[in-house]
């Protein structure tokens, strides 16, 4: 089938099976185009809770589909490719993380949503890149904190909040680790009017030269509302599809990685999700996400505690 035929077949199937398709900003443009909702991982999982769908197909990576299952346990959750993992989630093994927690007692554990269900189950409060600073600031100034798994996001939070009593797990996202400061500055020199929009999972040197630092959704919103006409985007370039779609009169440049052979910095896991895999997964209702109920409830508790914290 051609892409257009595949899209038509997927739309027909999802209606027949009462399925909602979620797509993360970092997936392929054609995948985003057939989704019912496009966004950040936790936001998508929250959105689908209120739908009457029987099936959730999450076009994204493994931890995202797990999060959807945690919040919608009665719905069948499918992932187009079970090999679509996450380097950041993989950098924080639950067994090792528990040892770290046990070695540092009397700490409140805050974990980024980009983690496995097992790590969420060990966590007191989940956070996202957009609310992490708010979550930390909601705790008493003297409270000891463990933050995992992203060392760059953790370092950024410490620099903003001044929390020196925060231990940060040594994990990272392979995409955000590989952006080149030198090549970014060269790109900025070619486009001096362009604003630099950067995700806080990036290294400190990149954050320091940026005009805006925020979650993927925050960067998109800024691009829509900014008077600027050009932007250099320092995160996975899949978001450029929604940025260009929302701002057809503006120009977006993907920040380059350290590899000089590459013009942009794709997430290899996100790009595993294709229209063909979505069609086959939905047709056969395969690749279902199953979570043991005891673990699910513990993981859910850490997410619900996050949702109970008011915006400051």
- The residues spanned by each domain of the chain are 3-85+270-290, 88-172+296-308, 179-254
Helices 62-71 and 41-49, interaxial angle, to 10°?
A: 30
Structure tokens at 218: 């925050």
Residues 6+ apart with CB under 8 A from 278: 10, 21, 31, 34, 57, 59, 80
pLDDT digit string, tens, across residues 69-84: 999 999 999 999 999 9
pLDDT for the residue numbered 239: 96
User: Which residue matches tokens 């990272």?
Assistant: 172
pLDDT for the residue numbered 263: 65
pLDDT for the residue numbered 175: 93
The total number of residues shown for the chain amounts to: 312
Confidence (pTM): 0.94
Q: Which CATH number fits domain 179-254: 3.40.50.10800, 3.30.70.260, 3.30.1380.20, 2.40.30.10?
A: 3.40.50.10800
pLDDT for the residue numbered 312: 55
Per-block mean pLDDT, blocks of 10 residues, the chain (312 long): 90 97 97 96 92 97 97 98 95 98 98 97 97 96 97 97 96 94 97 98 97 97 98 97 97 90 82 97 98 98 93 63
From the list 6, 57, 9, 50, the residue with the least C-alpha distance to 30 is: 6
Structure tokens at 55: 């099936």
Same fold, 3-85+270-290 and 179-254: yes
CATH class for the region spanning 3-85+270-290: alpha beta
Q: What is the DSSP string of 237-298?
A: TTHHHHHHHH-TTSEEEEPPBS-TT-SS---TTGGG--HHHHHHHHHHT-SB----HHHHHH
pLDDT for the residue numbered 258: 86
pLDDT for the residue numbered 260: 74
CATH class for the region spanning 88-172+296-308: alpha beta
């Amino acid at each position: 089938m051609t892409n257009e035929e595949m899209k038509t077949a997927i739309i027909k199937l999802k209606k027949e099976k009462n399925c909602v398709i979620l797509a993360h900003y970092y997936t392929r443009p054609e995948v985003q185009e057939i989704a019912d909702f496009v966004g950040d991982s936790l936001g998508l999982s929250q959105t689908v809770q209120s739908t009457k769908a029987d099936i959730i197909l999450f076009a994204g990576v493994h931890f995202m589909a797990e999060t959807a299952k945690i919040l919608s346990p009665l719905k069948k959750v499918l992932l187009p490719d079970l090999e679509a993992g996450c380097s950041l989630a993989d950098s924080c093994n639950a067994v090792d993380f528990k040892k770290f927690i046990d070695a540092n007692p009397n700490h409140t554990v805050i974990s980024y949503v980009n983690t496995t269900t097992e790590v969420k189950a060990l966590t007191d409060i989940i956070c996202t890149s957009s609310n992490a600073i708010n979550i930390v600031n909601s705790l008493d100034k003297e409270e000891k904190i463990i933050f995992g798994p992203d060392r760059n996001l953790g370092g950024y939070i410490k620099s903003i909040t001044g929390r020196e009593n925060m231990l940060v797990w040594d994990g990272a996202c392979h995409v955000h680790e590989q952006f080149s400061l030198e090549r970014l500055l060269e790109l900025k020199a070619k486009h001096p009017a362009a604003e630099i929009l950067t995700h806080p999972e990036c290294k400190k040197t990149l954050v320091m030269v940026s005009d805006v630092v925020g979650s993927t959704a925050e960067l998109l919103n800024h691009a829509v509302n900014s008077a600027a006409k050009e932007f250099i985007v320092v995160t996975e370039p899949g978001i450029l599809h929604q940025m260009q779609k929302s701002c057809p009169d503006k120009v977006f440049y993907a920040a380059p990685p350290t590899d000089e052979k590459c013009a942009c910095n794709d997430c290899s896991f996100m790009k595993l999700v294709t229209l063909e895999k979505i069609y086959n997964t939905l047709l056969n209702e395969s690749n279902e996400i199953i979570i043991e109920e005891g673990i699910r409830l513990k993981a859910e508790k850490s997410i619900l505690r996050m949702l109970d914290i008011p915006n400051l």
